[in-house]
Structure 1
């Protein structure tokens, strides 16, 4: 009679791997470009850099998988089997594993699993473990504790890693027992699973569903950053693009010129004589080359001469700098000319004037530039184009990397809403490997920045536009260039303060700005209402697109903001700073009811009074009715009472028309202490117009009631404040 297998019995292993001799990419359904290297499962090094669908944000090193980094040959095979099972979960032997992952994982995700398995298996080897059957829960916990700390740095303490980072480690360790039936060389003992019955997030204490923790870019960095980038794109960029066109045409023409010979010496004499007569400076080398020259002990009088540029004036393709220095260093004509006129960059010697950013004073858009300096400046203006595109569209890093030359759609008029611009890209996140095409509705500033970037890079259609999207590194270089070149003082742009800035932070900043600042400005000349409308139209045009996901982030940030505002208004109520306005009585009654509930709950738990989470739960329903206006709060509980809807003739609408709000008369509008400066400012502005002798009498009569209304709102706020503190 056959004995029933016991949990302690070893698991029977396959005599040969189920993946033996298979083509990795063919099994995983990954297409390769023609002529690309193909990798077999039995190879210890898989090269997937020739994938046809690869997106631009994935690096070559992420597609070069060296399994020999795993010290144990048996565990090398285990890792290869798990990695390929993640790529091909519908392979029949994988389907026979009841607990295996069923969703297809991308090569990037599979590589991350490979890296984590390599670290885990090599750690076991360093502890003298030779088979996975020897692995215990205690060993798993020891490994996790060691991996929970950052790599030591000189003069810096170790820090504990974020739970999200640690959860990936635990999740990878828990992969091995999921594929026990598939593994051919080794596996855990029957029934063993690291941290059984607990998810990876629960093991490391990560909280699922928490709010977005990406911080926005602080205003003291954001405002000068966007102001500077707008100036570079709108004022400097067009002139620079024209200059680049001239430079590229010159380079193309030079390819057809002859090489320099001694026969060109008479022509050189004529050119030098003409320059001397016109007192035209000799062409100078770039500032970078000049810095190298200055370090030399005896550079010589012609060390700053751009010999190639002088050769172009003669009519030759190139003039070797070393040859010119050897044969012309003692030439009396050239030496006298250098002493008389000096050296100046050959380009933009008569630069067009542009207004300074601070005073409006007209200044040349650039100092004269050498050949290399034109390309360098173009790279920094391209950074400004990238920052504006990222900050004002909400696109992710991967989506920015997929923008190509020619991705702009023609301007399309939107009835009653001006023009709209569209930008094609690809969505990578949460999509099959390689992503899917998508289109963003963007504002004119973004369209202008992308159009300028296309001119600056000068690449054919279909080529990547921005290249690397490392905004933090590119901004650090931009700051240094501004100070090194002196252009910040020339243009009067504000200094960009030091501080972290990246694409995720800019995306978060835009989401919060739209959610929290109705009708306000993100930066000079950029209306948030315009951006918000463009974002909504992008959602409407492509309901499943990436812009819809961005709009969801905006709505989430808006909900959080409304809860915070409601809590602040409640705290003002508790402190005696009462609201004013037609809807104040109803709001005060609602707050009084919540206050009574808090006090009742505090009798059983004294911590409730200080616990904002409990207060937020009580106020959340009230916060859902809040719509923020520029100078009031609208508590939109009953559409029939909304004055704006009655005036518009749309009493069944689900949202108020904040732009038509007359908060001094609407029964659902309230004014709070935070709104007082707005009304005071309006009253002062109206007073200036009313007292101006240039304002017609009829207009003055129209403005007087407006001022009286503003003053009445201020007086009501002051009265409510006094009554509340009595």
Structure 2
């Protein structure tokens, strides 16, 4: 693990701040692991990675605040005072300010505020402004005009920025004025207020929303997407789990694997080559792009080792990589072995048969794969689990991230043919630091999917949770390409229209379907963990909701837990 060096700002460089020497987490009421970092105000880097209860979806980079990225040294002190005041509004020095915010904000919020503030202050430095007393409305307007466009690293305009981002920019510029009495080194002149009495909301051109702006997925997208995900979970996952076990056995986790006591690479790789010859086991095949890279690096097209998967060979010895500096020593031995046993994709050579998704007979669950393609199968199955759980439970990203490998509670028998399936987890949004434990009553498919996800999870890397990370865009693009490609057609999967899909859209789709059923508004409110039924109304046009009276609403909300099944026809 990388250890951060936390330089401190020399106390003699600037006038002493009222927060000097204070423990940031103690002032903000943030609990910290005993061995975790305890950032102090004078540190130039505030590391919150040791704070207890931070949501899992919050990336590591968002837990660390780098004030060193601000070019003007005196403004680093100002930025720290501003962020400290937002984290600890109950501090005696902050309570005295007339315009200071009274509610503490989250680590994620101050990380975003610092990012925007750094951009504003560094832009002023580039304009030759080295004192906030020199800032005028012209500066503010010019900077907002700049931020109305999103540019790439070369400065080329890509698109317009969102109103929400523009509101954040305006808000940070204005908020510096709320704390000017607190700053020890600089500040706007007392009479200056950016954009006068206009709010950040109006300056940014925000339009008041009349409902939830996240669109639900149309049925021609939702149905094939969920059907494909469930096909992977229910039909392919048992074979993927077996493949996972085989891949784990390929890389032995023996003592000495990561220390100097292990045998020399010459010995271990030679032994792996000998094993292939003794067992008549062909060597794994390299990916096409690896072969292309080797040719570009000057390999002979007739080289017998051109298509050998050398990384797979290294994995057989428990090593993560094959170093090309080994090749001159191993070449003779390896060429002889390749001539003797040949090359073949290592995994899935005798794949079991499964029923096609369209019911047109049985086929091998996979074509032969090399090691890289096999690992992609695992990743694809995990993505399918994420899609199915999001679609069938309506969980938020933050809630999916908190699901642990033991999230499935024992099924409850409620009578003949009636079984209640529950998942335990945490609600993060709108709750105190660390979230609140809660349960979701769901259908059997979602319950079984959680079990598959637990079996596929790397419990060490994912810290005992179902998903290591909740990155969705790229994994979904890979899943979509697979479904719509040759392999998806071979398995009989219906193509999925190539339109934007997000976890929020899956949640919204479930909410709309539930809310538009008789009595479904109250049921959706309970199931989606909304604090108020008004929030649930925002997920669907209230004018379209089925009106059946209070008794029917409550009765529907108490239906058998299996009742969500009829909301979707996943096989039609």
1:100-121 per-residue CA deviation (whole Å, 9 max, x = no partner) reads 1110111111122222222223
1:170 CA drift (Å): 1.9
- Equivalent runs, 1:8-23 vs 2, <5 Å: 16-23=16-23
State the match for 1:543 in structure 2: none
Larger radius of gyration: 1
Counterparts of 1:127 and 1:263, CA distance in 2: 63
1:96 CA drift (Å): 0.9
Determine helix, strand or coil for the equivalent of 2:220.
helix
Could you tell me whether the CA contact under 8 Å between 1:171 and 1:200 is conserved in 2?
yes
* Residues 77 and 227 (structure 1), Cα distance of their counterparts in 2 relative to 1, 3 Å cut: same
1:170-213 per-residue CA deviation (whole Å, 9 max, x = no partner) reads 22222122223322222223343223433221233323453211
Q: Structure 2 length as normaliser, TM-score? A: 0.79
- Equivalent runs, 1:632-647 vs 2, <5 Å: none
State the match for 1:474 in structure 2: 475
1:61 CA drift (Å): 2.1
Counterparts of 1:266 and 1:425, CA distance in 2: 47
Could you tell me whether the CA contact under 8 Å between 2:252 and 2:318 is conserved in 1?
no
State the match for 2:388 in structure 1: 388
Q: Confirm whether residue 115 of structure 1 aligns to residue 115 of structure 2.
A: yes
1:409-440 per-residue CA deviation (whole Å, 9 max, x = no partner) reads 22223457832322233333223344333332
1:656 CA drift (Å): 11
Determine helix, strand or coil for the equivalent of 1:477.
helix
State the match for 1:58 in structure 2: 58
1:99-158 per-residue CA deviation (whole Å, 9 max, x = no partner) reads 211101111111222222222233333344343333333433333233223326889766
Counterparts of 1:144 and 1:256, CA distance in 2: 58
State the match for 2:188 in structure 1: 188
* Residues 312 and 107 (structure 1), Cα distance of their counterparts in 2 relative to 1, 3 Å cut: closer
1:52 CA drift (Å): 2.8
State the match for 1:585 in structure 2: none
- Equivalent runs, 1:253-268 vs 2, <5 Å: none
1:483-537 per-residue CA deviation (whole Å, 9 max, x = no partner) reads 77x4223311123332211111221222223334x49xxxxxxxxx9xx69x939
State the match for 1:87 in structure 2: 87
Determine helix, strand or coil for the equivalent of 2:225.
helix
State the match for 1:442 in structure 2: 442
Counterparts of 1:124 and 1:481, CA distance in 2: 48
* Residues 560 and 327 (structure 1), Cα distance of their counterparts in 2 relative to 1, 3 Å cut: same
Instruction: Answer with 99-108 or 363-372: which moved more.
Output: 363-372
1:197-233 per-residue CA deviation (whole Å, 9 max, x = no partner) reads 3322123332345321112234333222222111111
| Structure in which a larger fraction of residues adopt helix | 1
Counterparts of 1:305 and 1:442, CA distance in 2: 47
1:539 to 526, 537, 545: 526
1:557 to 539, 557, 563: 539
State the match for 1:514 in structure 2: 514
1:297 to 274, 296, 300: 300
* Residues 174 and 37 (structure 1), Cα distance of their counterparts in 2 relative to 1, 3 Å cut: same
Q: Confirm whether residue 464 of structure 1 aligns to residue 465 of structure 2.
A: yes
Determine helix, strand or coil for the equivalent of 1:197.
coil
Could you tell me whether the CA contact under 8 Å between 1:511 and 1:550 is conserved in 2?
no
Unaligned runs of 5+ in 2: 1-13, 557-572
Counterparts of 2:308 and 2:134, CA distance in 1: 73
Counterparts of 2:114 and 2:269, CA distance in 1: 64
State the match for 1:490 in structure 2: 490
Unaligned runs of 5+ in 1: 1-13, 276-280, 520-528, 541-545, 563-623, 628-635, 640-651, 659-726
Counterparts of 1:536 and 1:421, CA distance in 2: 16
1:599-625 per-residue CA deviation (whole Å, 9 max, x = no partner) reads xxxxxxxxxxxxxxxxxxxxxxxxx7x
Counterparts of 2:446 and 2:101, CA distance in 1: 41
State the match for 1:649 in structure 2: none
Could you tell me whether the CA contact under 8 Å between 1:96 and 1:181 is conserved in 2?
no
* Residues 299 and 446 (structure 1), Cα distance of their counterparts in 2 relative to 1, 3 Å cut: farther
- Equivalent runs, 1:143-162 vs 2, <5 Å: 143-151=143-151, 159-162=159-162
* Residues 289 and 418 (structure 1), Cα distance of their counterparts in 2 relative to 1, 3 Å cut: farther
State the match for 1:681 in structure 2: none
Determine helix, strand or coil for the equivalent of 1:282.
coil
State the match for 2:234 in structure 1: 234
Could you tell me whether the CA contact under 8 Å between 2:212 and 2:540 is conserved in 1?
no
Counterparts of 1:503 and 1:369, CA distance in 2: 30
Counterparts of 1:452 and 1:54, CA distance in 2: 26
State the match for 1:605 in structure 2: none
Across the two proteins, how many residue pairs are aligned to each other?
527
Could you tell me whether the CA contact under 8 Å between 2:286 and 2:308 is conserved in 1?
no
